[in-house]
Structure 1
Amino acid sequence: MGIWQPLPDRTPAEVVHFVEHLRLLKDRTGLSLVSLGTRTSYSKSSWQRYLNGRQPPPRQAVLALCRVAGLDAAEAARFGARWELAMRVWPRPEAPDAAKAEVVEADTARAGAASPWGDLDEEEDTLPWWVPQDEPETRPARPARPAHDRTPAWRLPAYAAVAVIAILLVGLLFVLGA
């Protein structure tokens, strides 16, 4: 259904296998890229990058495509396995020399490892596209705030209003008492 750009010759076999299956799954849905974007919350241009092998899709995008295509749990799990294999060998972008040195130093210091890519299994709030993320069901949308930090948004203006009223009352009492 889709006319896809050929993948570069140097693309690892696992990535080629994954992208080809991703393309077949997209074609199986019968949806245009615009419709696919609407149903999965990933834009048309994102799907173009994913399906042409220019950028790997996040795990959540693959799961969304599996849901739209109506895959059962076993088929979705096979897609998850293909995704994991492809992510391990997906070519990472080259950074300029100065920036690359800073990234290597920062990642090495943070991860405490000799690898410039750090630990690919660690979770962070913001991860590069090449670091696998947990499935949406297992990873909360936002980190939980401590109980003492769960102040409703209306309380701050209410406290400010009470403080202003208290100051006005003290001023009024001062003026009346003088």
Structure 2
Amino acid sequence: MSRSKALPAELDPHAQQLVTGLRRLKDRDELTLRHLAATTGYSAKSWERYLGGTSLPPREAVEALARITGTDPAPLLALQEIAADSWDRRRGRPAPKTPPVEQHAEGRAGDPADVVGVRDTAEEQQQRPDSPTGPRPAAPTRFPHRALTAALAALVVALGATLLLVLRLHDHAAPAQAAAATPSAAASSPPAYACHLTRVDGRWSAGLNQGRDTEIGYGATGADVAEAQCLLRRAGISPGGIDGMFGPLTLRAVKRFQARAGLVADGMVGPRSWKALRG
């Protein structure tokens, strides 16, 4: 979806901060809705609603986007929890209907005078100290609710500032620093593959696909992609994370390597590209 498309004017400010952060991650890594659907388990239509501000993304979708972009999910998840609470409150639940007033046994059905008389009698009984129902309790004060709202607003501002700081530091980090996971990110989403580079008979191997030269391209997943990512990193070209997903960063790295090796830079890793990567 377009980076310049404005969010709905009626969108809750908390949800707006969350969606803005998710949009920035998507645009930074040049991710498409189709790629998000292939790597997160949520459909392209769902991501269109999430990033358009018409539907609040669930925790699992936020975690998935943070994982594929190599971002610490903690600030995003904290913001999503507050946005979800505000989202529910703003929509609210329908107010319960007031039960009809019972008419006096001797009154006529539907007679307005009888209904008013019964209501006045009930109010008089509640106001009398000796009434069986007792005096009407005082309306609860709204001070605690206002204090809680103010505290939540302050927390949202602090979390928003933290999120922007994390995104800014991530954008300016060096490739080697971007590849290193923070302790919290490593604990929540451990890497699926690890490079074990060895050289046997003059050929490099990462030990992930038993030396296969299967042709792979954009959108592919699995050990073959992870093997190619390891060999690209060994050649000095970063494909992003070693996650086994042939996304925009891996595609860009493959084309750079093919151009450097004198091959056709079509972004497809076939037998010739495998040979050059292992050489």
Classify the TM-score, shorter chain: 0.3 to 0.5
TM-score by length of 2: 0.31
Larger RCO of the pair (alpha carbons < 8 Å, separation 6+): 1
* Rg comparison, structure with higher value: 2
